Amino acid sequence: MTLTPFAKLTPQNCLRSLKAVKGWPIWWGLGAAVIVSLPARGAERMQFFYGPFELTIRVDDLAAIATAENPATVDAPWIDQLNDADLATLQTILNQRLAIDVVTLSQFSYSHVGENLLSRVGQIVQTETGLNGAQALRSALILAAADDQGLSLINIIHHFPLDTIQLDWPLVQKILAENQAIFQKQGDMIADLQQQAQVSTEPRTLPVADLSEQGNYHWHQAVITFINPQRSAPSIADLYMPQNAAGSVPVIVISHGMAANRQTFVYLAEHLASHGYAVVAIDHVDTNTEKFHRFLTGLEGAPDPQSLLHRPRDVSAVLDTLATKARAEGEWRSLDLDSVGVIGHSLGGYTALATGGATLQPDLWQHVCSETVAEQPLLNLSMLLQCRFDELTDEASLIVQDDRVQAVMAMNPLTSHLFGVDGMASLAVPTMLIAGTDDYFVPALPEQIEPFQWLTVEDKYLVIIEDGTHFTPMESDQQVIPVPDVLIGPDPVQAQPALRSLSLAFFDRHLRNQEDRDAYLTQTYLNSLNDGPFQFSIVR
């Protein structure tokens, strides 16, 4: 790597490097730590080293900027290198507060995922002797969360336990450069896909029906119990059963994501039931809201990695239960359990794809999960969860496909190193992937857009939600983990009409074989629904 001239190693360029990465405000826990540092209570300096060059920033100067009515009046030797906008940004980063209590933060920091994240950040933010700064970071975070001032960067600064922080500036530059390139590539690809979607719009007459509207079937809800042999206790699911449905009733299973539950997608369950589908919303007990609440309040440990394989087996187990009931009980006999659809979000998206036939590829995650930040600098937080698969025992069976699943709709799914090219290519059922342009937990490019190109099945759809985040498909009141509003994005309720329409059209086409539904799986139809903050684009 060519050495950056000393003149370029300035607070201005450090701050602007961060701002150049799309989505920079949400990375204050990592990016701000990297760029403006995390010095300590009583610390005199933090140091950027780049070869023979050094830049020192005094902690007192950062503290003064954080509290100043006019940051430009702070007497710091480098203050004139920042314009008013830069200073306002820096002040915001220093003072932005996350509403996380000390127990929750402590529990997370000592979990496997938390330790992994701290270790990776600690490769960048080091001790004054150049060692990994993970333990010092944990101490500062916990003490700041316990303080009345709360978890803000400036308060973390005040609690950092070392006198001097060494920042691996070459590694910072590498991370920012590579991720800036990835975000740029993602932006370019999304723009191309959106253009392709609009160009492919056929000048057909819009369909008469509005698939986002409730259907004509009345339905009732029941709680069913099922037994997954891999679990120590029974599990439950909500069944939405349409009444007086003529002929066989197709079945759709909904799999929620991490720290969610069977109520997270009620709007989809009720909508599909009103159109004659029997919908089963599973509660994955070891990754649901209640489990995470107990974990974050210190009442239970983190989910076992084996639970990741329990999820697709929950789908098979609940279908087995329905099959047993269908042989014995009146209205259940109408269930068509030979042609099942699965909807999943996030980790539930993995669940849906796995039950549909995408095969897990341990060689992929074993390789990437052993790499350091320098070797794998991508700011893809989903890799922290994907790497939990690396803890599975060698004896664990990775075959979780269920042949009854004939169509899958995966929203914001984790895919890149769980399935890879070969695993996604093994999917042989109609597949719809849904991605959000502003999803910083499971980024669209590596986890949905590129994997869409690996699909070989003829009937495949990629839906891109402009301004969509990881939380856009979810019910807005189902959050157990504290999430800043900037990560949630526009009101998720406004995305629901399009998601109701897409899910109904997709399953009508591929479970009921209604060819006329093709007209609803087009950009023409989606354009007719676009009257909110989200723009939906579809390519096939």
pLDDT score for 18: 52
pLDDT score for 467: 94
Measured at the CA of 478, the angle between CA 253 and CA 467, to 5 degrees, comes to: 90
pLDDT score for 60: 87
pLDDT score for 228: 96
Q: How many CB atoms within 10 Å of residue 408?
A: 30
What is the Cα–Cα distance from 339 to 361, expressed in whole angstroms?
Answer: 26
**DSSP 8-state code for residue 288:** B
Q: What domains are there in the chain, each with its CATH number?
A: 6-179 (no CATH), 200-539 (3.40.50.1820)
Crossing angle for the helix pair 169-199 and 11-19, to the nearest 10 degrees: 30
In terms of Cβ atoms closer than 10 Å to its own Cβ (0-12, 13-18, 19+), residue 275 is buried
What is the Cα–Cα distance from 259 to 293, expressed in whole angstroms?
Answer: 8
Run of H or E including 152: strand 151-152
Each residue's pLDDT expressed in tens, for the chain with a length of 540 residues: 233 333 455 556 655 555 555 544 443 444 443 333 333 344 566 777 666 667 788 888 888 999 999 998 999 888 888 888 989 998 998 898 888 888 888 888 888 888 888 988 898 888 888 889 899 999 999 999 998 888 888 888 788 888 887 888 888 888 888 878 888 888 898 898 888 888 765 656 677 789 999 999 999 999 999 999 989 899 999 999 999 877 899 999 999 999 899 999 999 999 999 999 999 999 999 888 887 777 666 667 667 888 889 999 999 999 999 999 988 877 788 999 999 999 999 999 999 999 999 999 998 888 888 877 766 766 788 888 898 888 887 656 889 999 999 999 999 999 999 999 999 999 999 999 999 999 989 999 999 999 999 999 999 999 999 999 999 999 866 566 667 777 889 999 999 999 999 999 999 999 999 999 999 999 999 988 876 899 999 999
Query: Which two tokens mark 319?
Result: 């279908």
**Phi, psi (5° rounding) for residue 491?**
-50, 115
pLDDT score for 469: 95
Query: Which two tokens mark 447?
Result: 């986890």
Using the structure block, give the residue that is written with the tokens 């590596």: 446
Q: Are 461 and 431 in contact (CB under 8 A)?
A: yes
What is the Cα–Cα distance from 121 to 29, expressed in whole angstroms?
Answer: 10
pLDDT score for 212: 94
Q: To the nearest 10°, the Cα dihedral for 202, 205, 209, 211?
A: 20
Q: Among candidates 387, 405, 473, 490, which has minimal Cα distance to 435?
A: 473
Listing DSSP states for 167-192 in one string gives EEHHHHHHHHHHHHHHHHHHHHHHHH
pLDDT score for 30: 40
